[in-house]
Amino acid sequence: MKMVMRKQFKIRSFDDLIDFIENEDAPKKDIGNIISNILSVWVWSSQYKDKKELIKDLREYWSKWKNKRERPIFLCNIDLEAKN
């Protein structure tokens, strides 16, 4: 039987979240799920080339919306606007 040790994290602020993303070697999918659970925003983490790009978008999102009740529910680096 193989034992798996899991590291525990306490993310209590946006800065803690950024610190986690920057310093932990977690799969993109797991990072996307963590962001979704903490910020209640859907993340297409597979669309990001690297953590820096994701963190940049997260910082922009947070600086604009923070804890506002009504805010976008998606975080992605693709253009979702309809083209004419």
pLDDT tens, residue by residue, 35-68: 999 999 998 877 888 999 999 999 999 999 988 8
**Is residue 22 helix, strand or coil?**
helix
Type of residue numbered 11 = I
State how many domains the chain has: 1
Contact 65, 71 (CB under 8 A): yes
pLDDT score for 72 = 86
H runs (alpha helix) in 40-73: 51-65
In 3-state terms, the chain is what percent helix, strand and coil (to 5)? 50, 5, 50
The whole domain housing 69 covers 17-75
Contact 34, 20 (CB under 8 A): yes
pTM for the whole thing? 0.77
pLDDT score for 35 = 93
